[in-house]
Amino acid sequence: MTHLILDKVSVHYDGQPVPAVERVSL
């Protein structure tokens, strides 16, 4: 599991910034 950086706009998942909406799906 990759560490997710909780950010107001996006998070770093697998080294790539993704929308918070995608983070919820993860």
Spatial contact of 2 and 9, defined as CB atoms under 8 Å apart: no
Exposure of 5 in the CB half-sphere (CA atoms within 13 A): 11
Residue 1 pLDDT: 47
User: pLDDT tens digits, the chain, 26 residues: what are they?
Assistant: 455 555 555 555 566 666 656 555 54
C-alpha distances (whole Å) from 6 to each of 15, 16, 24 are 13, 13, 11
Q: Which domain holds residue 22?
A: 1-26
The total domain count for the chain is 1
H or E element at residue 25:
helix 20-25
